A and B are shown apart, each in its own frame.
Chain A
């Protein structure tokens, strides 16, 4: 390996890891603050710059938490599989970190290099799903290696959930791939310059399905029952303490960033936004008003999605296990398959390049998708009658 290539790789990857690790710290603070405010509390507001009384709205809290985690005792249960117990948190973090490289983030300092993102891969979308699938393995490994019934149960639940929700997740991403005809993340983002996929009926439906499945995939509320803090101890990482626990936490948040980044790439136009225009000269990358503007837009969109995730966490109650599974298999799966059909017809209609036909297609597909969704909703309605009281009035 030449030195030049090594430098290129480092320039492309190291900032990525640093940026997202910093964003992780900021997000934990943001989440605690936002949840507190939603519950009419104040949230962390004490920790600021050490040795002074400057508290900076508690922004020092993530650093303090990190130091605390580092110095905590690392407990491995007797009878646990020490190797896998150690490997599980690492395996939870690595895939999440790895898929960040496939996001079409065009950093100004990588412009001079050939790749626009860390790895230029033609099958980026497929690779993304393949790598995030590894997370399931880490979760089950953690549950099994702990040698604890509750960990194992939590792991089983998590695996069942993640496997179920991966299907609607992938099927809704298929729509974008159909429309663009390319699996390359940068090409997909480029194809949406000026008109994002979320602004079409099938794109909107796919985005909603994708977002819900992403919530379940990253174990976020309302689908956070594998690690429901108030119910089953801590799920699969019951037996983890100290920095291993922190690694799980980090992995979870990085996975949130990664999957939000994929949602932004697929549906929300990647780095597109005001100030970014289509490159009409050589059909290459979109031109930006100043270097780094696309990265700023991309990160802002990721943060918007994360804010919605936090907001939903503060709003929705947790689902039951049967509701969770029923929702994946009886509602999301049929709807996403139907959406693929709708998108297929819509693609052919668009090829005709007739405004009237396009409008008709939009109206029909909106009606079909909404009708199917409410029909599925009616079909899945649980057969619950109002409670009858026999003896009481």
Chain B
């Protein structure tokens, strides 16, 4: 039988150790320090923060690879609306737990559905950063951004992010989440290759069938 209250002292030892070591070991500090310290040897995620408005973030203020907050839409470079991956299938809109996504499909002048969103709004005041939209998207069109400078004087319009502000290039994605972006590109390439192989196989099958048919017809003619 253990001594009464030993567990509490054990826990207190752990927290005391955390308390003391956090003063001596910088790498224990997991949060992003909005500090104006000129120290150069800080680990990634801790560093200078701009003092004045408009000043650029220094290189040491990069957010870490795994930080993410709100979703963004990906396009493959060039004119954003031409290469946007989103086809306005509205799966994310339906899956979103707090229902912060609003999508309208795009139609041409003949009323024919073009595979892209006419309206794509995310209310970041409602979004809870659960990343479910990213997981359900079959087109790898929506991923998480790590933009954290979101303060605005307008709490309604200012926090409703429109389609054009959501569109970000794949290059930007590679910049902020290199590992994840590379993995996603690889996955997409594999899917594409599989799809093409399947298409090729189907074509060959069709061609073989046609040849067979032609041969049969020829045989029939010969008879």
Contacts and interface: CB of A to CB of B under 8 A. Distances in A.
Interface of A: 34, 37-42, 45-46, 53, 311-312, 314-316, 370, 373-374, 377
Interface residues of B, number: 20
B4 A377 contact: yes
Given A46-B34, A370-B4, A40 B28 contact: yes
Contact of B16 (A46, A311, A374): A311
Contacts of A39: 18
B4 A315 contact: no
Contacts of B15: 38, 311, 314-315
A45 B23 CA distance: 14
Interface of B: 1, 4, 8, 11-12, 14-16, 18-19, 22-23, 28-31, 33-36
A377 B7 CA distance: 14
A7 to B, nearest CB: 46
Given A41-B31, A311-B15, A314-B19, 15 more contacts: A34-B19, A37-B18, A37-B19, A38-B18, A40-B18, A40-B28, A40-B29, A40-B31, A41-B30, A42-B31, A42-B35, A46-B34, A316-B11, A370-B4, A373-B4
Given A370-B4, A373-B4, A40 B22 contact: yes
Contacts of A315: 8, 11-12, 14-15
Contacts of B35: 42, 45
B23 A40 contact: no
B12 A42 contact: no
A42 B46 CA distance: 11
Contacts of B36: 53
B30 A40 contact: yes
Contacts of B19: 34, 37-38, 314
A246 B71 CA distance: 37
A311 B12 contact: yes
A49 to B, nearest CB: 15
Nearest to B12: A315
Contacts of A38: 15, 18-19
Tell me if B's interface is mostly helix, strand, loop or mixed: helix
26 contacts: A37-B18, A37-B23, A38-B15, A38-B18, A39-B18, A40-B18, A40-B22, A40-B28, A40-B29, A40-B31, A41-B22, A41-B29, A41-B30, A41-B31, A42-B33, A42-B35, A311-B12, A311-B16, A312-B8, A314-B15, A315-B8, A315-B11, A315-B14, A315-B15, A316-B11, A377-B4
A247 B15 CA distance: 30
A42 B1 CA distance: 39
A53 B55 CA distance: 17
Contacts of A40: 18, 22, 28-31
B24 to A, nearest CB: 11
Given A315-B14, A315-B15, A374 B4 contact: yes
Contacts of A373: 4
A-B pairs, top 5 by smallest CB distance, nearest first, are A315-B15, A315-B11, A37-B19, A38-B15, A37-B22
A373 B31 CA distance: 42
Contacts of A374: 1, 4
Contacts of A53: 36
A40 B29 CA distance: 5
A337 to B, nearest CB: 18
Nearest to A312: B12
B13 to A, nearest CB: 9
B159 to A, nearest CB: 21
A40 B33 CA distance: 12
Contacts of A42: 29, 31, 33, 35
A314 B20 CA distance: 13
A46 B33 CA distance: 11
A312 B19 CA distance: 13
Contacts of A312: 8, 12
B38 to A, nearest CB: 12
Contacts of B8: 312, 315-316
A311 B17 CA distance: 11
Nearest to B9: A315
B128 to A, nearest CB: 16
Contacts of B14: 315
Contacts of A370: 4
A315 B15 CA distance: 6
Nearest to A317: B11
A41 B18 CA distance: 10
Contacts of A37: 18-19, 22-23
Contacts of A45: 35
Nearest to A36: B22
A34 B36 CA distance: 21
B17 to A, nearest CB: 10
A315 B28 CA distance: 18
A60 B156 CA distance: 32
Contacts of B16: 311
Contacts of B29: 40-42
A285 B66 CA distance: 64
Contacts of B4: 370, 373-374, 377
A331 B1 CA distance: 18
A377 B8 CA distance: 15
Nearest to A313: B15
A45 B12 CA distance: 25
A292 B89 CA distance: 76
